[in-house]
């Protein structure tokens, strides 16, 4: 059997013994040395010389919000990530000018923790940008939105629970459920959502991501299934739910290598940046965050998911939320074959890590959170104090306990290389892992979470030919990975991305 494509003269990860990969159809036909692989070359075989570059399994980002990333990528939502306060306001002003009169503009991704003056955006600032049309700006964690006066007026007729701590008209802030209820009502039409998916796939390819697990609202799930495989990105779906009846109402989906319905996502608390993650010790600024559900409700959700055979992916950031989730998982009959997950797990106590191990749970963690917010002068220190920052995101302990971990980005931003750098160069030894461990968590980790460890996440004969080629060998410069870039991305043996200036 001859190969369709041979990648040669590379460094094949992680073993680094072979230098060539032969691909036939969408699968890896052989992994070998170049002197052996020549026998698989036929008349129609294309060969790409990797010029000594490393080739890794395609990255699997185990926690993204694909539609949101795509809506930013195509410009429907204004991407505010990485911008200063002034740039943020300028970008919003630009967008307001280009939209039709009275049309909503939603910006997304601002992060005051990176600004000199660490204040949230204010209603007054947004009023000056858009005096006559509704405008909202979602904080980078997605757990709060700031609105202008016109937007606030529109929101008060949409969002029911005014006056609670989720709806603060004085500052124009909506949090958690209140923010999401509003955003649901400012939903783009289905064709824009489909376009967003293609945009998100392009973004992923550029960053070496060949598979994602996406957390998705119920009504957007059918759009994913309509577009199955069209954007050459492999997608595992977790549907956001809030009640057992929603779980019971989930349609039976047909899974294949492009698209798999994997489970349900439940939010048990908020975020640290928005001050809503549920913590035992109060925030220095006051309050213990928010638990979205009672024990009973969590227990019922977990039981309903298990009955329906869906994996549960439970968002729990603060130790108080983690404690609740662990208590409720412990009540559940053993269903470890479902590979139930906890998302984020940013502020666990040490004994909670042990409990995760005992219960056979899987941890979906985001090393980019460390890069974004941990260390002297960063957001965790400001919101939680230095002591709690130093024990946040304890990747080292989690790996040492042998708990299955998958890395993901939660879209802040999508970029496995950034996440890997953050995990390897973390400010505290309790957070730091080796390059091998970080790469494995961004490849094999996600494959295992999706029960696909036999087809993806490694470069082996018979596996899907999902591959990423980097510009240089990260092991030569493990403490300075800043120049690491994605050169090429292959999905199912097809070249889906080549960096500009490369013909592939």
**Alpha-carbon span 67 to 192, nearest angstrom:** 10
Give least dist CB 63 to Zn ion, A. 6
Q: How many CA atoms lie within 13 A of 111 on its CB side?
A: 21
232 vs 291 by CB, closer to Zn ion = 291
Min dist. Cβ of residue 65 to Zn ion (A): 6
Which residues have CB under 8 Å from 391's CB, separation 6+? Answer: 347, 428, 430
- Alpha helix ranges (H) inside 186-294: 190-206, 221-226, 244-248
Q: Which is nearer to Zn ion, 410 or 487 (CB)?
A: 410
Residue closer to Zn ion, measured from CB, 72 or 458: 72
Nearer to Zn ion, 133 or 409 (CB): 409
* Minimal distance, residue 25 CB to Zn ion, in Å: 34
Query: Are the C-beta atoms of residues 407 and 438 closer than 8 Å to each other?
Result: yes
φ/ψ of 262, rounded to 5, equals -100, -35
Neighbours of 101 (CB within 10 A): 6
* Residue closer to Zn ion (CB basis): 142 or 457: 142
- For 142, how many CA atoms within 13 A lie in the half-sphere containing its CB? 16
Residue nearer to Zn ion on the CB measure, 21 or 140: 140
- Complex with Zn ion: residue 127 or 410, whichever CB lies closer: 410
Which residue, 30 or 212, has its beta carbon nearer to Zn ion? 212
DSSP labels, 269-305: S--TTTT-S--SSPPTTS------S-HHHHHHHHHHH
Q: How far is the CB of 67 from Zn ion (least distance, A)?
A: 12
> Given the complex with Zn ion, which of 389 and 410 has the nearer CB atom?
410
Contact 175, 24 (CB under 8 A): no
The nearest distance, CB 408 to Zn ion, in angstroms, is 8
Taking the complex as a whole, how short is the minimal distance between the CB of residue 489 and Zn ion, in angstroms? 23
Report the distance separating Cα 348 and Cα 403, nearest Å. Answer: 14
The nearest distance, CB 317 to Zn ion, in angstroms, is: 10
* DSSP per position, 434-446: -HHHHHHHTTHHH
Rounded Cα distance between 454 and 330, Å, is: 29
30, containing H or E segment: strand 27-32
Q: Which residues bind Zn ion (CB under 5 A)?
A: 410
Minimum CB–partner distance for residue 195 and Zn ion (Å): 22
Q: What is d(CA 324, CA 263) in angstroms, rounded to the nearest whole number?
A: 20
188 DSSP 8-state letter: P
What tokens were used for 311?
């994996």
Question: Which residue of the chain is nearest Zn ion when measured via CB?
Answer: 410
Distance, CA of 62 to CA of 410 (rounded, Å): 8
CB of 66 to Zn ion, least distance (A): 11
């Amino acid at each position: 059997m001859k190969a369709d494509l041979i990648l040669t003269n590379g460094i094949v990860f992680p073993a680094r013994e072979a230098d060539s990969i032969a691909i036939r159809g969408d699968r890896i036909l052989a992994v070998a040395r170049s002197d052996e692989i020549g026998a698989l070359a036929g008349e129609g075989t294309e060969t790409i010389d990797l010029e000594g570059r490393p080739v890794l399994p395609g990255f699997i980002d185990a926690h993204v919000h694909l539609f949101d990333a795509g809506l930013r990528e195509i410009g429907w939502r204004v991407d505010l990530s990485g911008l200063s306060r002034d740039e943020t306001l300028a970008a919003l002003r630009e967008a307001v000018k280009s939209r039709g009169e009275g049309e909503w503009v939603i910006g997304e991704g601002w992060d005051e923790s990176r600004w000199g003056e660490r204040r949230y955006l204010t209603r007054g600032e947004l009023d000056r940008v858009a005096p006559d049309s509704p405008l909202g700006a979602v904080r980078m964690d997605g757990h709060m939105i700031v609105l202008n006066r016109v937007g606030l007026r529109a929101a008060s007729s949409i969002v029911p629970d005014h006056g609670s701590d989720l709806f603060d008209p004085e500052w124009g802030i909506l949090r958690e459920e209140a923010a999401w209820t509003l955003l649901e009502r400012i939903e783009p039409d289905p064709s824009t959502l489909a376009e967003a998916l293609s945009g998100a796939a392009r973004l992923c390819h550029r960053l070496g991501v060949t598979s994602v697990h996406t957390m998705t609202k119920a009504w957007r799930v059918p759009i994913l299934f309509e577009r199955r495989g069209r954007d050459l990105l492999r997608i595992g779906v977790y549907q956001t739910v809030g009640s057992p009846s929603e779980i019971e109402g989930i349609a039976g989906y047909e899974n294949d290598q492009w698209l798999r319905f994997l489970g349900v996502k439940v939010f048990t608390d908020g975020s640290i940046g928005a001050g809503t993650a549920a913590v035992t010790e109060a925030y220095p600024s006051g309050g213990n965050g928010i638990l979205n559900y009672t024990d009973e409700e969590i227990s019922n959700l977990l039981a309903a998911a298990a009955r329906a055979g869906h994996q549960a992916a439970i968002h729990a950031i603060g130790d108080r939320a983690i404690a609740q989730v662990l208590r409720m998982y412990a009540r559940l009959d053993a269903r470890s074959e479902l590979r139930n997950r906890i998302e984020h797990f940013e502020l666990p106590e040490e004994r909670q890590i042990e409990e995760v191990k005992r219960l056979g749970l899987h941890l979906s963690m985001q090393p980019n959170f460390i890069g974004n917010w941990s260390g002297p002068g960063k957001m965790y220190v400001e919101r939680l104090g230095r002591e709690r920052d130093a024990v946040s995101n304890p990747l080292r302990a989690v790996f040492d306990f042998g708990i299955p971990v998958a890395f993901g980005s939660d879209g802040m931003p999508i970029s496995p290389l950034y996440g890997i750098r953050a995990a390897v160069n973390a400010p505290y030894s309790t957070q730091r892992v080796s390059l091998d461990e970080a790469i494995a968590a961004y490849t094999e980790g996600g494959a295992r979470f999706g029960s696909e460890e036999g087809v993806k996440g490694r470069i082996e004969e018979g596996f899907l030919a999902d591959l990423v080629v980097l510009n240089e060998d990260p092991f030569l410069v493990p403490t300075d990975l800043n120049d690491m870039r994605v050169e090429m991305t292959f999905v199912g043996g097809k070249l889906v991305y080549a960096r500009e200036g490369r013909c592939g």
